[in-house]
Amino acid sequence: MNEERILAEIREANLSYLILAQSLIRTDRVQALYRLGLSEEVADLLDQLSPAQMMRMAQGNMLLCRFRFDDALLWQLLVDHGEATGTEEGSERSASRLHAAILRSGRFEETLDERA
Domain spans of the chain, in order of start: 3-58, 72-115
* pLDDT tens digits, 17-51: 999 999 999 999 999 998 898 999 999 999 999 99
Q: What local confidence, expressed as pLDDT, does residue 70 receive?
A: 66
pTM, 2 dp: 0.65
DSSP state of 33: H
Q: What local confidence, expressed as pLDDT, does residue 64 receive?
A: 93
Integer Cα distance of 46 and 100 in angstroms: 28
In 3D space, the residue among 76, 65, 69 whose CA is nearest the CA of residue 107 turns out to be 69
Q: What local confidence, expressed as pLDDT, does residue 79 receive?
A: 72
Judge whether 93 and 82 are in contact, CB under 8 Å: yes
* pLDDT tens digits, 50-96: 999 999 999 999 999 887 666 676 667 667 655 554 555 556 666 66
Which CATH architecture does the domain made up of 3-58 adopt? Orthogonal Bundle (1.10)
